[in-house]
Structure 1
Amino acid sequence: MLPSTVFPDLKDRSVLITGGGSGIGASLTEGFIAQGARVAFIDIAAEPSKALADQLEQKYGNRPLYLETDLRDLDALRKAVATAEAENGAVTVLVNNAAWDDRHTVEDVTEEYWNLNHSINLRPQFFAIQAVLPGMKKAGGGSIINFTSISFMINQGDLPAYTAAKAGVIGLTKGLAGTLGPDKIRVNAIAPGWVMTERQKALWVTEESLKVHVGKQCLKEAVLPDDMVGPCLFLASDAARMLTAQTMIVDGGYL
């Protein structure tokens, strides 16, 4: 369930979300649409993304702009940012959500696989930020929210390229917070726990594994995609105007 809190300053704000067509990203797209923001979202999967845009327009009377883009193609990413800005104005909220948490062993990782993994999980976060910066600076500031993961914090061992990238997201967040602070641009990260997206449930969740994981949380309920929306809206809003260089862990108290 989406949070009931309204952040008036988010109305008409130009928001760009990567990976906004499914999972956590779809909840984020809906969350900002529900606030009355002008939302553009990037996703490679066209059919579900178009269906999401139709659904949100019907529900809220506020249609997000879907930008079919492969984030591994940096020229395409830059073009998507330009289209979002032409449609909605300078991006003042960027949510770097897109990720690929494919499981893999150390032995199976090749140079090509490593580069592929980071071309989705880390590289686009930097270049999306780079692309929105001129407009964000001209607008007088903004908020950048990078999604990381608790996976590297709990020593999860079955996706080493992914955990390396997600650790890198925090380094990127803190370094850019220092660089961009004088321009009134805040840069923060959100680290979800195990979120019960359709992908997770289809590929890795079992009744027993979920029971064990939730049993280690302080809050004894599964974490859902909608649970990421409130923290993200808060970080995007003026309520967090003096909060930067931080990582907000949203894991039900697992850590």
Structure 2
Amino acid sequence: MEESVTALPLGFADLSGRGVVITGGGSGIGAALTEGFVRAGAKVAFIDINEEASLSLVERLSADAIHRPLFLHADLRDMDAAKAAIGEAASHLGGLGVLVNNAALDDRHEFLEVTEEIWDANQTINLKQMFFCAQAAAPYLIADGHGAIVNFSSISFMLNMGGMPSYTTAKAGILGLTKSLAGRLGPDGVRVNAILPGMIVTERQKRLWLTDEGIAAMVDRQCLKRSLTAEDVLGPCLFLASRASAGMTAQWITVDGGVL
């Protein structure tokens, strides 16, 4: 039986009381991250465009949370709105110790039909907003003294997947961004790392793209013979956000069940 978020051993005591902002934290992988940090005792603000799902998550987690999570409604394709949300999170939480750049949109798109508008929109939500969220959060992370950024990439760009070329380009770019920011912010005491999930089975994925046959085919390629869920990336994210990884920066952790 697969473990739930609440059953995971959250042994990262230094995260208790830390100001954490998570982008795209209202559903899917993001909701699992929000819940995990809340249950680790962090002060969490999450940014999302889906108001209904996000408010429902806040109510569910607030029943036994040490710190009630804060939902900030913003469209991260609007850089001014994204930066304002980061500022509001920092103000509400009394500073920031961790930024989790999770928000993404993996819509499929046919190479021969991609327009400049489609390309630019895809790069905006999957890469551009990560840069500007990090830029907005950086002064608070530097002031914290030992801040951390965790960027979510993907193994998709390593699998020669032809059905979403702008998305996979952005996910490759996130690794370049991670290493560049690590070099820039390291002297200020801020660590920057990334997580590369494999096929994480979420409700959205099952509704839009994944079939039972497709899931089975990927599991067959994995060393671990089970479907990966959002909870599988929670532990690595908590680790990279916490002082348990204090000597790590400019690195990435692959969570793909052993596909690569």
Class of the TM-score when normalised by the shorter of the 2 chains: over 0.9
1: distance between equivalents of 2:13 and 2:53?
29
Match of 1:173 in 2: 178
Match of 1:154 in 2: 159
Match of 1:107 in 2: 112
Cα distance, 1:61 vs. partner? 4.7
**Aligned to 1:27, which of 29, 32, 36?**
32
Match of 1:63 in 2: 68
Cα distance, 1:51 vs. partner? 0.4
User: What are the Cα deviations for residues 98-144 of structure 1, in whole angstroms up to 9, with x where unaligned?
Assistant: 00000011111100111100110000110000001111112213110
**Aligned to 1:188, which of 193, 202, 214?**
193
2: distance between equivalents of 1:10 and 1:61?
12
> What code does the residue aligned with 1:25 have?
G
**Aligned to 1:131, which of 112, 136, 141?**
136
Cα distance, 1:81 vs. partner? 1.0
User: What are the Cα deviations for residues 87-107 of structure 1, in whole angstroms up to 9, with x where unaligned?
Assistant: 102211000000000001111
Please state whether the residue corresponding to 2:71 is helix, strand or coil. Answer: strand
Match of 1:98 in 2: 103
1: distance between equivalents of 2:91 and 2:157?
38
2: distance between equivalents of 1:135 and 1:208?
46
2: distance between equivalents of 1:141 and 1:75?
26
Cα distance, 1:19 vs. partner? 0.2
Spell out the pairing of 1:11-26 with structure 2 (5 A cutoff). 11-26=16-31
Q: Over the residues paired in the alignment, what is the CA RMSD in angstroms?
A: 0.9
> What code does the residue aligned with 2:103 have?
A
In structure 2, runs of 5+ residues without a counterpart are: none
Identity of aligned residues (%): 55
> What code does the residue aligned with 1:205 have?
L
2: distance between equivalents of 1:4 and 1:137?
29
Cα distance, 1:59 vs. partner? 3.8
Count residues with an aligned counterpart: 255
CA contact (8 A) 2:108 2:164 kept: yes
Please state whether the residue corresponding to 2:82 is helix, strand or coil. Answer: helix
TM-score by length of 2: 0.96
> What code does the residue aligned with 2:43 have?
R
User: What are the Cα deviations for residues 173-231 of structure 1, in whole angstroms up to 9, with x where unaligned?
Assistant: 01111111111110000000000111101011111111110001000010001111000
2: distance between equivalents of 1:161 and 1:116?
9
Does 2:246 correspond to 1:244?
no
In structure 1, runs of 5+ residues without a counterpart are: none
Match of 2:59 in 1: 54
TM-score by length of 1: 0.98
Match of 1:73 in 2: 78
Please state whether the residue corresponding to 1:39 is helix, strand or coil. Answer: strand
Match of 2:168 in 1: 163
Please state whether the residue corresponding to 2:250 is helix, strand or coil. Answer: coil
Does 2:33 correspond to 1:8?
no
> What code does the residue aligned with 1:149 have?
S
Spell out the pairing of 1:218-233 with structure 2 (5 A cutoff). 218-233=223-238
